[in-house]
Structure 1
């Protein structure tokens, strides 16, 4: 046993027998080295081991403190997980590189089928503006972005009962940029943030880049988010901010009910915790009523709401925004040192397009197409997949989340299909704890159900069936 392990075990006993109380500060690294006789490096490794076990937590420039322990028989508390060191960027990079070729059938992409997105009216507007250079060359392009565009976005919030001023909005280079800027504005390296156990890989990448420690909570099988686990996590750890996806969740697909969102807002207020809401799929619902964002329930200005036009108008229109409120100035300062500004030509085109109600007509058609295609994918997979596979279907968006038998890793299915020029998204992209939930995969269902797509789906079924029937080669 290493010296650091011996020291960690000794210190663990002091916590478990109550010698060190909840939230009590531990001796500094140097003082502990003097007390124990071990080197500074050994003490640091021991503290990091205790932190990884969820027994202590660190505060920037303050030291280490004892975590408030929950009863040992509390099953939900066991699902609250500390991810002290995130290493997912290289995995995501290799995956995205692998699915780039045009020959790949892109069931693994996060974007809808481009044939459904690029509105003819928007393309026409772009052409008209391109012939009038003064219409965009003289437009200020610095943060917070085009005022007319921010005003139109603010009006869309107001239509949902969320009183919004254009000064609350900062235009960003897509939804991911909005998330990154928000997270950077609200955290420092070493801070604790809270994520859902399974969530869009961009959140994990941001946490890794910023050097954050991630606490995860499990998804609730009925409600989407587990409020009990959420409260236990923020009681146990000094959470600086939460980053959650509650509408048309990627990759699973659920939308959290208004009642759960209301209860979540009460907890945010009670514990004075900020929330960054990733809501880039907010417009891709199938009902007549758009789902409410957490901003609707936010009475204390604790929520930063991030969204984008990329999932509705195309990946080429990388224009997003963050409803930043009191953080607007800080985010603009960070933006000036990073992405700088968003293309003023595209912003002007969006202003013209949104002003004439073209967007609402486009959204109506897009939702109808996505709903039709997703139902066809679901019907085919339900009929042809082995009964041991489970499919999560929710009435929004364009993803299906498939659960394979526990003994099959979805990365293996991804590799089999990639050799056949078909991509899927394995669950390792959405959960930085690779020891859990390796047996899920996400399929993009936004494509028209033609013979080519049907054949590709048959290949997905064939590869899954092969893995089930050949246990010696599936890992």
Structure 2
């Protein structure tokens, strides 16, 4: 056993025996080295091992502290510290691998473009293109076109969320809204909380900003595990949570209003901020649009991020954040990066949203996605055995498939690439050293002969006995 392991074991015993209580500060590295007789490097390695086990946490320039209820074994099994994130290179390679036009696009993140870019929208763009004032940049500088912000604010008000245009900052898509919000609220080394399985852009942002990630598991019934959430915020100094609660990507669940209310209460008790990724908020199949966490926010702790990219087209890259008191800071960050969002597109969206065109388009889009998702689910269910769990939820356009544990989702992805079929392997959405046995497929494409053949190839790849 290495010296650092021996020291870590000794310190772990002191923590679990109650010698140090929750949030007690441990001796500094130098003090511990003097007391134990070990070198600074040995002490640092021991502290890092305890941090990886979730027994202690670090705060920049302050030192190491005992986590809340560090003696609870069940907590450490469900709440995971991801101290070093390395995912950007993996995402880059994945996105490059699925770019070919010959690829069957089950792996892409956007809906089929044939369902977007409505005729009325294209007509509006054509009309706007004739006017020089449509390209004027000054009115569209941060926080963005006032009329567009007013229309977005009205949509919040219609859901019972009092909103002023000054609360809204227009961004270059939903991912830009998330990145700017997280950058405005954190410093390198801060602790943030993510769902264990979440859109890879959240992991990328954490890596880019040098953040420590506490992840909590999904709940089979409720979508989010409230007990694990409570454990995490008690044990670690969480600066901000980033959660996806409506039409979750990649799994697909929507968290109930009751669970959202309870989440809001926990956030309010500890004054913890929440960034809500809600880019799929309009793609529900039921009659009522799901509420965002902003509806339950009584202390202005929630930054709500959304986008038109998933409903009108990836090429628009128009998103926004309900930024509240962080509006000025986010605008400053924008001016140092993207400067401003495309003024022509902002003006065209004002014209388009001012009429009923958008609501009619959304109704058609939801009905089409619902029909297609049901078709894919039915076909896959008929051909896969009970060992394969297909997660179906009434929203969005993804199906998340849990494979038998011995099947490696990464290998399935690579085998299908050779057949010019893309899927999204589960390893893009979570951090694990185990075999990733999940895949996500995009169900927004009409099942013609090409798509049918690709579906059959997918089934054959993950379940060779299907067509015997």
TM-score (norm 2): 0.97
> Does the aligned pair in 2 maintain the 1:224–1:254 contact within 8 Å?
yes
Residue 293 of structure 1 and its aligned partner are, at CA, apart by 0.4
Secondary structure of the residue aligned to 1:140 is helix
Secondary structure of the residue aligned to 2:274 is strand
Question: Which residue pairs with 1:362 in the alignment?
Answer: 361
**Closer, same or farther: CA 63–73 of 1 in aligned 2, 3 Å:** closer
Map 1:124-139 → 2, pairs under 5 A: 124-137=123-136, 139=138
1:33 aligns with 2:33: yes
Residue 44 of structure 1 and its aligned partner are, at CA, apart by 1.8
Question: Which residue pairs with 2:407 in the alignment?
Answer: 408
Question: Which residue pairs with 2:350 in the alignment?
Answer: 351
Residue 341 of structure 1 and its aligned partner are, at CA, apart by 1.2
Question: CA offsets per residue over residues 289-346 of structure 1, 9 Å max, x none?
Answer: 1110000011110100000000001110000000000111111111111222101111
Distance between the aligned counterparts of 2:240 and 2:233, measured in 1? Answer: 10
Distance between the aligned counterparts of 1:143 and 1:53, measured in 2? Answer: 43
Question: Which residue pairs with 2:113 in the alignment?
Answer: 114
Question: Which residue pairs with 2:204 in the alignment?
Answer: 205
Distance between the aligned counterparts of 1:73 and 1:189, measured in 2? Answer: 29
Question: Which residue pairs with 1:192 in the alignment?
Answer: 191
**Closer, same or farther: CA 456–138 of 1 in aligned 2, 3 Å:** closer
TM-score (norm 1): 0.96
Question: CA offsets per residue over residues 418-455 of structure 1, 9 Å max, x none?
Answer: 1100011111000022437x111101000011111111
Question: Which residue pairs with 1:338 in the alignment?
Answer: 337
Match of 2:452 among 451, 454, 457: 454
> Does the aligned pair in 1 maintain the 2:222–2:256 contact within 8 Å?
yes
Residue 138 of structure 1 and its aligned partner are, at CA, apart by 5.7
Question: Which residue pairs with 2:20 in the alignment?
Answer: 20
Residue 160 of structure 1 and its aligned partner are, at CA, apart by 0.4
Q: Gapped runs of 5+ residues in structure 1?
A: 470-475
> Does the aligned pair in 1 maintain the 2:191–2:213 contact within 8 Å?
yes
Question: CA offsets per residue over residues 97-116 of structure 1, 9 Å max, x none?
Answer: 11111111010111000000
Distance between the aligned counterparts of 1:432 and 1:401, measured in 2? Answer: 17
Q: Gapped runs of 5+ residues in structure 2?
A: none
**Closer, same or farther: CA 209–67 of 1 in aligned 2, 3 Å:** same
1:4 aligns with 2:4: yes
> Does the aligned pair in 2 maintain the 1:77–1:232 contact within 8 Å?
no
Map 1:325-474 → 2, pairs under 5 A: 325-435=324-434, 438-466=436-464
Distance between the aligned counterparts of 2:200 and 2:357, measured in 1? Answer: 32
Distance between the aligned counterparts of 1:260 and 1:425, measured in 2? Answer: 29
Residue 133 of structure 1 and its aligned partner are, at CA, apart by 1.2
> Does the aligned pair in 2 maintain the 1:83–1:433 contact within 8 Å?
no
Distance between the aligned counterparts of 1:187 and 1:466, measured in 2? Answer: 48
Residue 33 of structure 1 and its aligned partner are, at CA, apart by 2.3
Distance between the aligned counterparts of 2:218 and 2:465, measured in 1? Answer: 27
Q: CA RMSD, aligned part only?
A: 1.6
Residue 132 of structure 1 and its aligned partner are, at CA, apart by 1.0
Map 1:51-200 → 2, pairs under 5 A: 51-69=51-69, 72=72, 74=74, 77-137=76-136, 139-200=138-199
> Does the aligned pair in 2 maintain the 1:174–1:320 contact within 8 Å?
yes
Residue 468 of structure 1 and its aligned partner are, at CA, apart by 10
Distance between the aligned counterparts of 1:305 and 1:463, measured in 2? Answer: 40
Question: Which residue pairs with 1:473 in the alignment?
Answer: none
Question: CA offsets per residue over residues 16-38 of structure 1, 9 Å max, x none?
Answer: 22222221111112222222333
1:46 aligns with 2:46: yes
Aligned pair count reads: 467
Residue 171 of structure 1 and its aligned partner are, at CA, apart by 0.4
Secondary structure of the residue aligned to 1:446 is coil
Distance between the aligned counterparts of 2:76 and 2:276, measured in 1? Answer: 24
Distance between the aligned counterparts of 2:15 and 2:265, measured in 1? Answer: 32
Question: Which residue pairs with 1:248 in the alignment?
Answer: 247
> Does the aligned pair in 2 maintain the 1:408–1:468 contact within 8 Å?
no
Distance between the aligned counterparts of 2:210 and 2:312, measured in 1? Answer: 33
